[in-house]
Amino acid sequence: MATDGPTPKPCDRKIFKNGTPILLIDGASNAVEHWVKAVAKRSRVEVDWHYSGGRAQVLYLGDSHDRARVEEAIIALEGTLKGTILQRFELGDKGVFRAI
């Protein structure tokens, strides 16, 4: 349940299942939702997020070129995030609570 407005839609199932983790964010759900949508739009890559252990885990679908575009969008939009980037995952990192 969101505490900063309406509850955002759940993470896209395809991205949740097959996405690659790129960030871990501390932020309210609607603030994260709006920011992640802006990253997706700017990068032209499928990007979504879900909470993992109370933190927003951001995932993307794509190859290394897509990842580079997402990283560029993150850098460009970082100042607009109403939250804190806690961790940037390296390529190959499993993310938080995703490794079995």
- Asked if residue 60 has pLDDT above 80, the reply is yes
Lowest mean pLDDT among 73-77, 86-90, 93-97: 93-97
Whether residue 69 is contained in a domain is answered as yes
Number of domains in the chain: 1
38 falls within a domain: yes
Residue 97, in any domain of the structure: no
Burial label for 34, CB within 10 Å (0-12, 13-18, 19+), is middle
**pLDDT of amino acid 84:** 97
pLDDT score at 5:
75
Query: Is 11 contained in some domain?
Result: no
The pTM is what?
0.91
- Is the pLDDT confidence value at 1 over 60? no
CB atoms within 10 A of CB 60: 25
The CATH code of the domain that includes 29 is 3.30.70.1710
Query: What angle do the packed helices 64-77 and 29-43 form, to 10 degrees?
Result: 120
| Domain assignment of residue 30, yes or no | yes
Query: Within a domain: residue 61?
Result: yes
Asked if residue 15 belongs to a domain, the reply is no
Reduced to 3 states (helix: H, G, I; strand: E, B; else coil), residue 80 is helix
Q: E strand or H helix at 12, and its extent?
A: none
Domain membership of residue 72 as a residue range: 21-88
